[in-house]
Amino acid sequence: MGPPARTIQWIADDISLVTRILLEDFPDICDDKYMHVEIGALDGVLMFISTPHRDERGFFTRTFDVSVATAHGLDPASFIQDSQSRTIRGGIRALHGRAGRGEAKLVRCARGAILDVLVDARPGSSTYGEQMSVVLDDENFTHLYVPPGLLHGYQALTEADVCYRIDREHDPAEDISVRYDDPDLAIQWPLPVTAISRRDLAAQSWRQLRTRLETALDPNPRDVSNNDVP
């Protein structure tokens, strides 16, 4: 037996009231200007940039919009797993990727600020081997879309909380990583490193990963054992 008609009406009235309050307080909430999208320097990377409404109470901002994401070719329903990390100032989590068909992710900084770094590890990409970096923070609320096949990492510029949403369940067996201080990549981390995991310190070089990726596409691959890779 369902809820009585009176209860249903109360719920409908409450929804109507909340909607009216939101539209009165934030008149541009349904405006396209409330969130716009910029194209990243690497092929397929998108930056969803909010326009926060600020007043004496603080702020209100939209962090994700299904219609905007869909209009830019994403399938919002495909993102099935959310995670959150907290990192001390100067801490680094980098550089991480996923073997197989990879994974797409949405990344944002919910508290504090980070320098987020991406490296294109897709041999067939027009930006293969290139990198980009962007500051994500709790002031500008940029939401970063990272397509499959990219390496991702960041350094916390303050103590920071980072939220991830991925389109495949995490499988540690498919994890790949490249050293954060790889000399060929020469990423310019802005702060002294205060913390990093043993796994990240033991990561392979960018040259090793490139050799493996390119060999996988070669119909006549040579031997790429660890002894053969610089």
Kindly list the catalytic residues: 96, 164
Token pair for 173: 């067996």
Cβ proximity of 110 and 218 under 8 Å: no
Say how far residue 63 (Cα) sits from the centre of its chain: 13
For residue 143, the cross-strand partners are 48
How far is CA 81 from each of CA 137, 165, 186, 190, 210, rounded to the nearest angstrom? 22, 6, 32, 30, 28
In this structure, what are the phi and psi dihedrals at residue 160, rounded to the nearest 5 degrees? Answer: -140, 145
Longest dimension (CA), the chain: 75
Angle (CA) 78 84 88, round 5°: 150
> Which residues on adjacent β-strands are paired with residue 105?
146, 166
Cα–Cα distance, 57 to 60 (Å, whole number): 9
Q: Could you give the angle at the alpha carbon of 77 between the alpha carbons of 173 and 133, nearest 5°?
A: 65
List Cα–Cα distances, 181 to 8, 30, 153, 201, 221, in angstroms: 59, 43, 12, 9, 28
